[in-house]
Amino acid sequence: MNKHGDTRRRLILSMGALAALTACGGQPGTPSVIDRQITVGAGVTLHVRDWTSGKGGNNDVIVLLAGLGGNAHAFDSLAPALARRHRVLAITRRGYGQSSKPAPIDANTYAPATLVADLLAVLDTLKIQRILLAGHSIAGNEVTLFAGSHPQRVRGVVYLDTTYDYSHDIVWTGEEIPDNPVMDAPEPQAADLASLGASLAYAKRIHKQWWPAMEAYWRDTLDILPGDSVRPNTPLAVAAAMSEGARTLSPDYRAVRAPALVIVAQPSTLADMMPWITHLTDPRDLADARAWLRIYPQMHGPDCQRIAAALPGSTLLTINNASHSDFFIEYETAVVNAFEAMRWEK
């Protein structure tokens, strides 16, 4: 992997501030959510959040898959918005949050094919035959593989700001990409893990916005230890195996037959892309960050257009002034409208 590809991947695969607090029931028509633990294999269960307002049954189901490092709470804003008309499931893949973290810890245990088998097991357990499948970021792998392997189970697919092929670097022949660690989110230090409050303060520093339900998402990534310090609840070995497994798949878009919606989030400001960069940042680092902000959309836009081009008849939506991590919250109305405007298979 070259140095620029490594920088790009660390940014694209990062998973940040996501959820917004929603009601869990109430008046008729208000989406309610049930948290489930569904067995998908020997000793392996997945955390599934199941929203319904009574208008979407087993024949009208949207499944939402979070990006790398994410969990089902990633969609605590988008899911209930969609659930006004549909049943919506958000699934935490194995290795994260409240889902199992099975051994052996290797790329096969956490490969896209394994994750797709997990998804199929969830649908079979819940007796759901066909779905609209949406995936954020690296979950585009699972969307493509599941839709290609089980076409009879898919009414449509949605790619939420993904990359065409995570197994290869994007080819870039333009302006040189700065090789500067300032472009990567700073790692938490000991003080940032001293308590949940310190961890939340750290999270606020590295994300564009702070949504009301960030604590739900953030708590689901953490273990609280004796003395009230915290640590990520996904072991480093699991995270590494998941990342390695994700990069083994070269997606076959030709096998995807269902209608497709491709949504692109394009950053316009440093806050969209590197919110830890401020006016106090060293001028040389600031110049490098601005160069990367200038280059990235030129790489990312055509890359997402390749996905749309590989899926005949697909719809491409570009959302500007957006952050990869939380665009589907900040621009929730546009995203929901795009879902609803599509002509999905019956």
Q: Where are the domains of the chain?
A: 3-183+235-341
Q: What pLDDT was estimated at residue 30?
A: 80
Q: Is residue 238's pLDDT more than 50?
A: yes
Q: What is the 3-state secondary structure (H, E, C) of the chain?
A: CCHHHHHHHHHHCCCCCCCCCCCCCCCCCCCEEEEEEEEEECCEEEEEEEEECCCCCCCCEEEEECCCCCCHHHHCCHHHHHCCCCEEEEECCCCCCCCCCCCCCCCCCCCHHHHHHHHHHHHHHCCCCCEEEEEEHHHHHHHHHHHHHCHHHEEEEEEECCCCCCCCCCCCCCCCCCCCHHHCCCCCCHHHHCCHHHHHHHHHHHCCCCCCCHHHHHHCCEEECCCCCEEECCCHHHHHHHHHHHCCCCCCHHHCCCCEEEEEEECCCHHHHCCCCCCCCCHHHHHHHHHHHHHHHHHHHHHHHHHHHHCCCCEEEEEECCCCCCHHHHCHHHHHHHHHHCCCCC
Share of the chain above pLDDT 90, in %: 84
Q: What pLDDT was estimated at residue 213?
A: 61
Q: What pLDDT was estimated at residue 55?
A: 73
Q: Per mean pLDDT, which range of 28-37, 90-99, 265-274 is the poorest?
A: 28-37
pLDDT band at 5 (very low <50, low <70, confident <90, very high): very low
> What does pTM read for this prediction?
0.91
Averaged confidence pLDDT in the chain: 90
Going by CATH, does the domain composed of 3-183+235-341 fall within 3.40.50.1820? yes
pLDDT band at 119 (very low <50, low <70, confident <90, very high): very high
Q: What pLDDT was estimated at residue 346?
A: 82
Q: Is residue 9's pLDDT more than 60?
A: no
